[in-house]
Structure 1
Amino acid sequence: MPTPPQGREPDPPPEGAVRPPREELTQPGSPTEEAEPGPDAATGTAAPDDGYEAALREAEDRWRRALADLDNLRKRHAKELEREAAVERARTAAAFLPVIDNLELALSHAAADPGAIVEGVQAVHDQAVNVLERLGYSRHAERGVSFDPARHEVVGVVQDPDAEPNTVVQVLRPGYGEAERQLRPAAVTVAKRE
């Protein structure tokens, strides 16, 4: 195909003629020839904006930083929980130290007065119950109250003409705590319905 003179557009092909590919229109050495085709040369569209690539890189960088921050937060939280649990264990153990001291004192005086040992053990028992109460676990060993499955564990059912049906007749093992903060329910026997 002859080359049109410079500065003039080529004539359009006649109606129904097959157009040559775009690359064939450009002659080697012409000013419109590119040194290297762009990434989208095959589609004929313009190359993507560098702004999009920069924004994508920035978003990916922020995402990676957020993942790292989340991982650091998880590790810091786990260490904090471990530290808090250790502090709470130490506080609870320290609350029971006077109970142990008084038990040792009662045992050391057991030979001198056997009657006093009973009083000493009762005092230590009361002190231990008080420690549990201060920690938030009050003692429950009431008889004659209505059976509550959240606070009581039935270990036996008895026929008792003096007790109302479905009430606690005997507490075999006291319970400690309330609702969700319960160490254990009270083991009880309950009066059955006739």
Structure 2
Amino acid sequence: MAADSDREAGTDGPAGKRGAPVLPELDVEDLRDRWQRAVAETENLRKRYERQMDEVRRAEQDRVTAAWLPVVDHLELALQHAAADPKAVIPGVEAVCQQAHALLALLGYRRIAGVGEPFDPAVHEAAQVREEPGAAPGSVVQVLRAGYGSERGLLRPAVVSVAAKPEE
């Protein structure tokens, strides 16, 4: 009883330090059981999170694939009509190309190209430097492969030819 009144009063007693909280006695088996339950619950949460992330990835993959299917359909149509009238294929392929560019823009990817723009090593990769009369030195004179980027960053740099600086 004296020990209980010492603890309540906040004085030194059998608990040791003045004002130290008194914890209930827990046996080792109870602590081990609590620890094992916490570990198991954490593992279950991790597995649930992984399943949810897989579902999100699959849903996004399905969404993007479904958006590309009309482009594939139109390319297949162009190939079917190629045998009948090869010259008619060119406008069809150009239309499909425009459709693909529009889809990339809809997905948030802008095209990085642009003849006449100054060369920017952050978005361009120079494949060649060549003399180009009338072009500003250091400007893009030909896009060999367009690049793409989004607000998150560069997906692929544009591969370009750059106008040479005139020799002095």
Classify the TM-score, shorter chain: 0.7 to 0.9
**Cα deviation digits, residues 131-175 of structure 1 (max 9, x gap):** 111111121220111222221111112233523332212111111
Q: Where does residue 86 of structure 1 map in the other structure?
A: 58
User: What is the rounded CA distance, in whole Å, between the counterparts of 1:119 and 1:191 in structure 2?
Assistant: 31
- 1:160 pairs with one of 132, 135, 155: 132
- Aligned residues of 1:146 and 1:167 also touching (Cα < 8 A): yes
Q: What is the correspondence of 1:24-173 to structure 2 with a 5 Å cutoff?
A: 53-54=25-26, 60-173=32-145
Q: Which amino acid aligns with 2:80?
A: S
Q: Which amino acid aligns with 1:64?
A: Q
User: What is the rounded CA distance, in whole Å, between the counterparts of 2:28 and 2:141 in structure 1?
Assistant: 74
Q: Identify unmatched segments of 5+ residues in structure 1.
A: 1-45
User: What is the rounded CA distance, in whole Å, between the counterparts of 2:81 and 2:161 in structure 1?
Assistant: 38
Q: Identify unmatched segments of 5+ residues in structure 2.
A: 1-13, 15-22
Q: Which has the larger radius of gyration?
A: 1
- Aligned residues of 1:151 and 1:178 also touching (Cα < 8 A): no
TM-score under structure 1 length normalisation: 0.64
User: What is the rounded CA distance, in whole Å, between the counterparts of 1:116 and 1:92 in structure 2?
Assistant: 29
TM-score under structure 2 length normalisation: 0.73
Distance 1:117 1:161, change over 3 A: closer
**Cα deviation digits, residues 110-134 of structure 1 (max 9, x gap):** 2333321111111111111211111
Distance 1:93 1:52, change over 3 A: same
Greater helix content: 2
CA-based RMSD: 2.5
